[in-house]
Structure 1
Amino acid sequence: MASSSSSPSSQRSNSHRFTVGYALTSKKTKSFMQPKLESYARNKGITFVPINHNKPLEEQGPFDAILHKIYGRDWREALEVFSKRHPDVIVLDPPEAIQHLRSRQSMLQGVANLNLCHQYGKVGIPKQLVVTGGSLSAPELVTRAGLKLPLVVKPLLADGTANSHALSIAYDVPCLSQLDPPFVVQEFIKHGGLLFKVYVMGDSLNVVRRPSLADICVGNSGAHGLIPFPRVSSASAPAEESYLDPQTAELPPQQLLDSLARELRQRLGLSLFNMDIIRAREKLNNYYVIDINYFPGYGKMPDYEIFFTEFLLRLSKKC
């Protein structure tokens, strides 16, 4: 990988090592840049170098790849300029592609348009509605759309902040008037209190089970109004096998996930993302993608240092 520019970022060492500059939040650095990853990668010829946010990218490096998860226009513009000047440096991932996952209105559109029907199952998204605060109230919009209760209510913006994870269950339509738009409402699909986190790294993927919200029966639960619920799926511990329904707990077919991940990589233009997938309890071969996240919590995935290093090694061979 070489460039005609004489800046540090474009000067390639004669060493065989593959250098990855990373620009991450302090929280992401702590969870992802663990000693086991740096040690394992170093033994495979990969070096991680932190990027100084207070210095121009042109003055840093050289880099073979840049790994980033920072939100903000200044960083995005700086990275886009850098990429134009140094097209041989791999950027994980392009800022313009990441933007599609910051809105829950656009993040699932690729899945909906795909309408994947496979011999091993069908993949779609829950019926949903975006409430943006127009002339019609949220209850009116939901009633017109014919969405069935209960409803999962999510903020429209998905930017990794605490507010973006403030999810609720609406047990009746009038309670939606309590919320300030914009937000998204999705029909709740019974899925046995379990979801599958599918971690994608280029052309490889890994699946883990995570606990999710228990199945809800409207009218029998005694609940009403709007009830917030915690981020149960973010727990690092896997779902307890002894409490799972064997049918809903069975991992989705590998062939189905491979097809889905391959198509979404092309449609999204991303290499690093994960999908939260649920299996409909009443139709076990029907799967629904309920969220897609860029550069997710790989550090919670078993042996993530091995999978991620292998991903980088495959990239290095393309240089």
Structure 2
Amino acid sequence: MKVIGDLTGVRGSEMEEVVVEETIVVGSAVAGAEETTVVFAGSDVADENWVIPGSGVAAESERTVVVGFALTKKKVNSFMQPKLLSLARKKGIFFVEIDFNRPLSEQGPFDVILHKLTDEDWRHSLEGFQEEHPEVTILDPPYAIQNVYNRKSMLEEVAALNLSHSYGKVGVPKQLVVTCDPFSIEMEVEKAGLAFPIVAKPLVIDGTAKSHELSLAFDQASLSLLDPPIVLQEFVNHGGVVFKVYIVGDAVKAVRRKSLPNVDRRNLGNTEGIIPFPRVSCAAAPADEANLEPGVAEFPPTALLESLAKELCRRLGLRLFNIDIIRKYGTRDQFYVIDINYFPGFGKMPEYEHIFTDFLLKLVPNKYMKHLACA
């Protein structure tokens, strides 16, 4: 729901006119035919419930959990779904959009700040706010997010972990970071002993579409066409399935997605050049279990995923992220982490509304645990 223009609200017995300019009204829901509660995003009354005249509803005095959010328009559209907002309201949680035209210190009060922005000014603003308001939970700290915006540091944490569990082993594919002139890539690859085909990924994830453009290089000659800085990974056959593991605090959920098909290395001589991923895969599409081999379709053991998530939460300092995992084709218990994404598309995670709202309430247990019983 968006409100554009002037809107008169009632707070208690007083009338006050509020000017709203393309403000997203979140945390609002129609609880009945005659009841509408509104929280004005970015306003200095974000911690109060306002009532639209004529609704016949008295303003509530009980304070709720206020989550300030700073997200791109695309992320707002995918994450702030009506079902999430309605459930959050029932649990006493209201999402309030942060106004970038005003100092962060003048807004709130907030219990939690949820964000996914790469702007340097925003990072400094948030870090300054955290120093002034240590009682506010930041999801997640800017310094921690930076670790997964660089694919080198991202996967170094997994490589250092080298998790070996009774249910399997988790590592990373053999890889190489190249920051130099593209004409020297061939020599670097040969020196590192990487085998073809090779997955090429931009080194830095900066929120642009380009930072997610991946490609597959099949021969030495094609390497000079790549654009450093990049990360090169050996392609591991995995049966065309990637497991996307979503982490929200202590909650871990895995889904299956289509990925690149296996490559027959015996016939590599018949394939050359670079192929962009979008032409050969559709990561957004669910993997049809009926068309998969049993060993390929089987999810990684829950105990293994929970151990991995717990260790990465500790090492990365993050609570909202997902891990892309593949199983080496022909094995049952050998897994590789190929990517980590901060604050991914949680809308694709089963039951994300319940998982996310319960997670938010657990961040402020002493004051708001009573709301858990209301959902």
Q: For the residues of structure 2 that align with 1:56 and 1:21, how far apart are their CA atoms?
A: 13
Aligned with 1:189: secondary structure?
coil
Q: CA deviation at 1:20?
A: 0.4
Q: Does 1:246 align with 2:294?
A: yes
TM-score (norm 2): 0.79
Cα drift, residue 109 of structure 1: 1.1
Gaps of 5+ in 1: 1-7
Which residue among 327, 333, 336 is the counterpart of 1:279? Answer: 327
State the SS of the aligned residue for 1:106.
helix
**Which deviates more from structure 2 when the two are superposed, residues 278-287 or residues 67-76?**
278-287
Residue 134 (structure 1) shift = 5.7
Query: Are 1:214 and 2:261 matched, yes or no?
Result: yes
Q: Corresponding residue for 1:3?
A: none
1:257 alignment partner in structure 2: 305
Farther-moved stretch of structure 1 (190-199 vs 279-288): 279-288
Secondary structure at 1:238's aligned position in 2?
coil
Higher relative contact order (CA 8 A, sep 6+): 1
Q: 1:306 maps to which residue?
A: 354
Structure 1 residue aligned with 2:133, among 78, 86, 96? 86
Change (3 A) 1:197 1:233: farther
SS at match of 2:300: coil
Deviation at 1:12, TM superposition (A): 10
2:343 counterpart (277, 295, 304): 295
* Partner of residue 39, structure 1: 86
CA distance in 2: counterparts of 1:250 and 1:16, whole angstroms: 46
How far apart, in 1, do the equivalents of 2:210 and 2:327 lie? 27
Q: Which amino acid aligns with 1:242?
A: A
- The alpha carbon displacement at 1:318 in A equals 5.5
The verdict on how the C-alpha distance between 1:305 and 1:161 changes in structure 2, with shifts beyond 3 A counting, is same
Residue 70 of structure 2 is aligned to residue 70 of structure 1: no
**Which residue, 295, 314, 335 being the options, matches 1:266?**
314
Amino acid at match of 1:24: L
* TM alignment of 1:118-197, pairs within 5 A: 118-133=165-180, 137-197=184-244
Mind listing any 5+ residue stretches in structure 2 that lack a counterpart?
A: 1-43, 50-60, 368-375
Asked if the contact 1:170–1:176 (Cα under 8 Å) also holds between the matched residues in 2, the reply is yes
Q: Distance in 2 between matches of 1:91 and 1:318?
A: 18
Deviation at 1:107, TM superposition (A): 0.7
| Aligned counterpart, 1:27 | 74
Q: Give the structure 2 partner of residue 224 of structure 1.
A: 272
- Which is worse superposed, 288-297 or 242-251? 242-251
Is the alpha carbon distance of 1:77 and 1:245 closer, same or farther for their aligned partners in structure 2, counting shifts above 3 Å?
same
**For residues 169 and 186 of structure 1, what CA distance do their matches in structure 2 show?**
10
Residue 142 of structure 2 aligns with which residue? 95
Deviations 1:203-226 (A, max 9, x none): 111110000011111342632111
Match for residue 107 of structure 1? 154
Equivalent-residue separation in structure 1 for 2:283 and 2:135 (angstroms): 36
TM-score for the superposition, normalised by structure 1? 0.93
